Amino acid sequence: MRVGSGFDVHGFGPGDHIMLGGVRIPHSHGVVAHSDGDVLLHALCDALLGAAGLGDIGQHFKDTDPRWRGADSSGFVTAVLGMLAKLHLQVVNADLTLIAQAPRLAPHRDAIRACIAQLLQVEGARVNLKATTTEGLGFLGRVEGIAAQAVVLLSDGAQR
Ligand code: MG
């Protein structure tokens, strides 16, 4: 078994929606990012890469590469899963936390969870999605941006 963790932040900027876990969420702001700025999927990619000992998302999908401008981050997850498959690593479960004052996660939780489970090719019960505010504290509390954490467990087929 291998465990990995990931963390990501994006600042709010002009726009009318944000992408969270592959789902388009209408919002008063967008996020500033080279790709689509999906913090949940970026944290998830880092957790998957971390568990596999494959570095981080920035090494594989550079934020200066024009190929990834405005990129759908679902493609990053799929590409990372391909890397894991070569190492015979499979996702056991993923636990994600959105850290944001806004937008509210609750109305979108089921859709995001289903989308992430589909991306990871696991049943929905193996993906958990939590949300917290920072009680108004710090840059997240001032609604300057949005953050996410992810923890994943991978199986390498051996009990260790
Ligand atoms: Mg990011």
Domains and CATH numbers, the chain: 2-155 (3.30.1330.50)
pLDDT digits (tens, 9 = 90+) for 119-134: 999 999 999 999 999 9
Ligand 1 centre and the CA of 21: distance in Å? 12
39 CA to centre of ligand 1 in angstroms: 5
- What is the Cα–Cα distance from 39 to 67, expressed in whole angstroms? 19
Which residues, listed in sequence order, are joined to residue 25 by a DSSP beta bridge?
A: 18
- Taking CA atoms, 79 is separated from 52, 112, 120, 138, in Å, by 13, 19, 11, 34
pLDDT per residue over 29-64, tens digit each?
999 999 999 999 999 999 999 999 999 999 999 888
pLDDT at 63: 86
Q: Which residues pair with 8 in a beta bridge?
A: 148
Residue 32 to residue 13: CA distance in whole angstroms: 5
CA of 42 to the centre of ligand 1 (A): 5
Using the mean position of ligand 1's atoms as its centre, give its distance from the Cα of residue 137 in Å: 21
Q: How far is the CA of 125 from the centre of ligand 1 (A)?
A: 25
